[in-house]
Amino acid sequence: MNAFILAGGQSSRMGRDKALVEFQGRLLIEHALNRLVRLGFTPAILGNRPDLAKYAPVISDNYPGSGPLAGIEAALTASSDDLNLFLPIDLPLLPDEFLRWISARAHCTLALATIPRHQGRSQPLCAVYHRALLPHARAALAAGDGKVMRVVENAAKTLHLTAAHLRIDGFDVESVAACFDLSFRGSVERPSTPPVHRWFQNLNTPADLENAALEEWPVIH
């Protein structure tokens, strides 16, 4: 499995480049890279961001200005593996163990898309995608459609007819978090992780950044 960081957004609501925003003593790009490296990946950065090449290899969009789907398409084009993990730049409170878990689940199912749901809403930018999605993403982008979930759902309808496993594997993050809680019962020490309702807290604005900085749940560096 390959791993990629989605860093191609405009950061318009933040008012400055989110990738280079400091949070708990490190830049957000460093948080994302360190998290994936701790899990054994050699990640690449997605987006037209040559300035970030000093942190990791950068893969530029083939369809500039088309949103996150363009980053996913570029990653799947460059990838040599069927399964590919994607992590947005602005989720520093997401535990490492969750990413380890979703990677393992994708290896078990080999689904077209392994997508978490948080508070009932799909999170398609923090997901695992099979390379079988590539021609569908490419065709959608060429037609001007950059909606990630719509493209994934349409692809699943087509591919499921010939390969039953190429489906959307969606799951509720809250259920996964409950399993984590059970696994740590009886332990002398429990990892200091944010409560599950903060896992997918995007840092989109200065207020988001300020509120997250007040958390009592330190990010592992």
pLDDT tens column, 9-38: 665 566 668 888 888 889 999 999 999 999
Predicted confidence at residue 3, as pLDDT, reads 98
Asked if residue 27 lies in contact with residue 20, where contact means CB atoms within 8 angstroms, the answer is: yes
Strand partners, 127: 86
pLDDT at position 82? 97
**Angstrom distance (rounded) from CA 153 to CA 175:** 23
pLDDT at 10: 62
- Please say if the pLDDT value at position 189 is more than 50: no
Q: What are phi and psi of 128, to 5 degrees?
A: -115, 130
Amino acid letter for position 62: N
Helix (H, G, I), strand (E, B), or coil: what is residue 44? strand
Q: Are 84 and 111 in contact (CB under 8 A)?
A: no
Give the distance, in angstroms, between the CA of residue 24 and the centroid of all CA atoms in the same chain: 20
Taking the model in full, what pTM does it have? 0.89
Which residues are bridge partners to 4 per DSSP?
44, 86
How do beta strands 121-122 and 113-118 pair? antiparallel
For residue 133, how far is the Cα from the chain centroid? Answer: 16
- Taking the C-alpha atoms of residue 202 and residue 128, their distance in angstroms, rounded to an integer, is 19
Where do runs of H (alpha helix) occur along the chain?
A: 28-38, 68-78, 96-109, 134-142, 148-159, 173-184, 206-213
Percent of the chain with pLDDT over 70: 83
172-204 burial, b if ≥16 CB within 10 A, otherwise e?
Answer: ebeebbeebeeeeeeeeeeeebbebeebbbbbe
CATH superfamily of 2-213: Spore Coat Polysaccharide Biosynthesis Protein SpsA; Chain A (3.90.550.10)
Per-residue model confidence (pLDDT) at position 105: 96
Of 5-14, 30-39, 103-112, 147-156, the range with the lowest mean pLDDT is 5-14
By C-alpha distance, which of 31, 50, 52, 33 is closest to 42? Answer: 33
Residue 221: what pLDDT?
45
